[in-house]
Chain A
């Protein structure tokens, strides 16, 4: 279980982007989070992936309260989340070839020897051919790059997947292929999924359950957003 309890988070003091929001993702469950742009759903996704420390509230993972974020979080905890971001162009280091991009988490965690085999295993799973693996990010399309980013997120076999508008920049066929790859992974490993987006049709067909941002606010009985006049 991944529980976000009464989360308040933001980037400047006293100006929270997210305030008093709670959300629970069960084991193996897929939850779609729908919301308009700018409402704070990406921030909530970053809090859930331990990439952004909230100002208030608790993140509870399998009954254990998370106490540290980013580098302070233990490596096993950080790597339990596979994160896919909205813009593949910005979420890929421009200097790394796609094969190195996919293998980077393995190298960073001291599993260098598994790199080649893992890339060979994951590239076909996300639909990347061998010639693409030798290219750098600027030499491939957004869709191809996002496939590599998905492979990078899956390579450490995370227990949770956080997809932050994963398919917002992509065409329908690539969207379908990526969602299929995520679902294949989940079917095999039973990983939980938090998919954030604003495409209701997609999220309702993809996820077991979709929640709207406004419902999250009502559920906690608090104002979800700060006064927009401020």
Chain B
């Protein structure tokens, strides 16, 4: 040791803890950066690839069926000779559209219901929350299937089905948050200052829950993507000829047994990687919203 002066134990433990925190910080920021890069790449691919690649995603060429990945077809071709890369990108396009729109719609419905229940309180709150419990007692994939089955196959029925089955958790989060905000003295001060119910809700309560509601919405995006894939896999989502990741995985099942791995692997990866990347970003946001974690991040 270069410094011969005796050091107390306390600084050493502090030092250890701080390097530990720093290491954790590094892994976390690596995760966030990877997620951000992936999400950026995905968005770019979804927007740019259809413009750059001069192929038709629906073009059938039976002479080229089930070709292994090559330079001409980087992801190979499917059982009717369609280019898999292009179909994966188009499938991801649908997934992201469904994911973002459905999550946004679910967040809006959930926030409205939760805020109403929390702000009104009393019997209105009890009635609304029992209705929410009732809805959540039905498995939401089943409920989603019922809703999709009422319409012709297409993107919008899937969006409606996912949005209508996924607002429940947001409603619970928003209601709980509103109930905790409602008992703060600053609400008393607003009441005493002549604010109407609506003003208290819009000016003081809702802005307080928006970060939580936004986070719930972003966390919902991967979930909604999974649901779109599940519905399509079951043959209930988009029309069967459309490029959707769930449909692609489903129709590739038979070729998987013959040893052709690419028609299943690539659409599968296109479901998993974007959902993990979005969940990674949402996780980082959640940590920022948590005050204890935030104080740790500042170290």
A92 CB-CB contact with B under 8 Å: yes
Contact at A75–B191, with CB atoms within 8 Å? Answer: no
Interface 1/0s, chain A 93-112, versus B by CB < 8 A? 10100000000110011000
Name the residue on A nearest B207 (C-beta). A95
Contacts of B254 in A (CB 8 A): none
Contact at B188–A83, with CB atoms within 8 Å? Answer: yes
**Given B186, B192, B197, which contacts A93 in the complex, CB threshold below 8 Å?**
B186
In the complex, chain A residues 60-97 whose Cβ is within 8 Å of any chain B Cβ: 70-71, 75, 78-79, 81-83, 85, 87, 90-93, 95
A46 CB-CB contact with B under 8 Å: yes
Contact at A104–B193, with CB atoms within 8 Å? Answer: yes
Name the residue on A nearest B184 (C-beta). A90
Contacts of B199 in A (CB 8 A): 108
Contact at A51–B194, with CB atoms within 8 Å? Answer: no
A149 CB-CB contact with B under 8 Å: yes
**Given A49, A90, A104, A108, which contacts B196 in the complex, CB threshold below 8 Å?**
A108
Contacts of A50 in B (CB 8 A): 192
Contact at B194–A75, with CB atoms within 8 Å? Answer: yes
Contact at B193–A105, with CB atoms within 8 Å? Answer: yes
Contact at A78–B191, with CB atoms within 8 Å? Answer: yes
Take A70-B191, A78-B191, A108-B190 as given contacts and tell me if A91 and B196 are in contact as well, using a CB distance cutoff of 8 Å: no
Contacts of B194 in A (CB 8 A): 75, 78-79, 105, 108-109, 156
Interface 1/0s, chain A 50-62, versus B by CB < 8 A? 1100000000000
A selection of 30 A-B contacts at a CB cut-off of 8 Å is A50-B192, A51-B188, A51-B191, A71-B191, A71-B196, A71-B200, A75-B196, A78-B191, A78-B192, A82-B192, A83-B189, A83-B192, A85-B188, A90-B184, A90-B185, A91-B184, A91-B185, A91-B186, A92-B186, A92-B189, A93-B190, A93-B203, A95-B207, A104-B203, A105-B194, A108-B193, A108-B195, A152-B193, A153-B192, A156-B193
Instruction: Name A residues whose Cβ lies closer than 8 Å to a Cβ of B.
Output: 46, 49-51, 70-71, 75, 78-79, 81-83, 85, 87, 90-93, 95, 104-105, 108-109, 149, 152-153, 156
Instruction: Name B residues whose Cβ lies closer than 8 Å to a Cβ of A.
Output: 184-186, 188-197, 199-200, 203-204, 207-208
